[in-house]
Amino acid sequence: MKAVVYTKYGPPDVLQLKEVEKPVPGDNEVLIKVHAASINSWDWDMLTGRPLEYRLLSGLLKPAKTKILGCDIAGRIEKAGKGIKEFHPGDEVYGDLCQGSWGGFAEYVCARENELTLKPAGITYEEAAATPQAGLLALQGLCDKRKIEPGQRILINGAGGGVGTFAIQMAKSFGADVTGVDSTCKLDMMSFLGADHVIDYTQEDFTRNGKGYDLILDVKTDRSIFDYRRALCSNGIYVTVGGKTSRILQLVFLGSLISMTGSRKLTLIMHKPNKNLDTLNELFESGKVKPVIDRCFPLSETAEAFRYYGEGCFKGKIVITARNNNYS
């Protein structure tokens, strides 16, 4: 089969389309014909080897454990290993493989049963592949710490990316007043998705405009936690789901202390892969949420897809698809 492989850390140019051995499902695994996979920030970090702590997941000097990136996938089950109970050959599935083998940027991948759920009939493979990690981070970030009440003011920092585009739609479905923060090129798209207010971070600092928010969902985590605390209203809560490692460490070490000394809370959400995928399915089927896809690239152009990702002005998700490939 064909797969996009990398054997050293670096820019997208290190990605190579190669012929590799087709995987064989073990017990409690299924073999999936991959129809689509999407790029997440974690893929970028693993590709570049930066921050350096990500090398602990794959290899200190070069990739050793994970040589085929891609954890968000959608496809059709071709073969089921022993012990598989819920799925059968022919089932259309999607899920996040970050706790397993990764390997989504390939024609085939193996996955454990608990990493998958059935794909709703009403969404495409591309939409399904764009969903697991970003959609669940948005859902968990909005709902895991406190129930959202209609009329609450919610700010989403980094609202134009994968997590943020899901979060805007989810927060609006809960009846919240939503403010989206991102770059100039994403403002119109955020408004189209339902954001009541949009802020261009290059023109305005939302932590110093005098407004307070009941919940700040942060995808960027690029400011001091004291700045975020200032932007919270009384009893407000700040939740981060990703961003700069130095800022996240600051939150880990100081956030709980600040939370204990006042009514404002600052916390970190640890991604729980595939938890509540059924809830996402319900949101899809009700029409309340729709994945936002900026561009689709064929597998043969995965390196170009990563270059586009690295430019930073993509809206929603970037998807690698089996369509338009002469080997699909």
Average pLDDT estimate for 251-262: 66
Identify the pLDDT of residue 33: 98
Tokens found for residue 92: 């259309």
Task: Kindly report, residue by residue over 220-250, the tens digit of the pLDDT.
Answer: 888 888 899 999 999 999 999 877 676 777 7
Residue 96's nearest CA partner among 131, 54, 147, 141 is 131
Identify the pLDDT of residue 145: 81
Task: Kindly report, residue by residue over 260-319, the tens digit of the pLDDT.
Answer: 566 788 888 878 888 888 888 899 989 999 999 999 999 999 999 999 999 999 999 999
Identify the pLDDT of residue 206: 96
Which residue matches tokens 């089927």?
A: 285
pLDDT surpasses 80 at 251: no
Domain boundaries, the chain: 2-131+291-321, 133-268
Identify the pLDDT of residue 144: 86
Q: Give just the sign of the alpha carbon dihedral 220, 140, 130, 273.
A: positive
**Domain 2-131+291-321 fold:** Quinone Oxidoreductase; Chain A, domain 1 (3.90.180)
Say which residue, 299 or 257, is predicted with more confidence.
299
Give the whole-number percent of the chain exceeding pLDDT 70: 95
Spell out the alpha helix ranges (H) of the chain. 41-48, 55-58, 125-129, 132-143, 162-173, 187-193, 225-230, 245-250, 256-260, 277-286, 302-311
Task: Kindly report, residue by residue over 93-146, the tens digit of the pLDDT.
Answer: 999 999 888 999 999 999 999 999 999 998 999 999 999 999 999 999 999 888
Q: What are phi and psi of 35, to 5 degrees?
A: -95, -30
Identify the pLDDT of residue 179: 98
Identify the pLDDT of residue 259: 66
Residue 101's nearest CA partner among 11, 26, 16, 51 is 26
Say which residue, 241 or 92, is predicted with more confidence.
92
Q: Is there a cis peptide before residue 120, judged by omega within 30 degrees of 0? A: no
Confidence of residue 258 (pLDDT cuts 50, 70, 90): low
Identify the pLDDT of residue 261: 61
pLDDT surpasses 90 at 327: no
CATH class for the domain made up of 133-268: alpha beta
CA distance 305 to 298: 9
For the whole prediction, is pTM greater than 0.75? yes
Identify the pLDDT of residue 47: 96
Identify the pLDDT of residue 326: 37
Task: Let me know if the fold of 2-131+291-321 is the same as that of 133-268.
Answer: no
Task: Kindly report, residue by residue over 153-205, the tens digit of the pLDDT.
Answer: 999 999 999 999 999 999 999 999 999 999 999 999 999 999 999 999 999 99
pLDDT surpasses 80 at 32: yes
Residue 311's nearest CA partner among 150, 133, 161 is 161
Identify the pLDDT of residue 328: 35
Identify the pLDDT of residue 250: 73
Query: Is 62 strand, coil or helix?
Result: coil
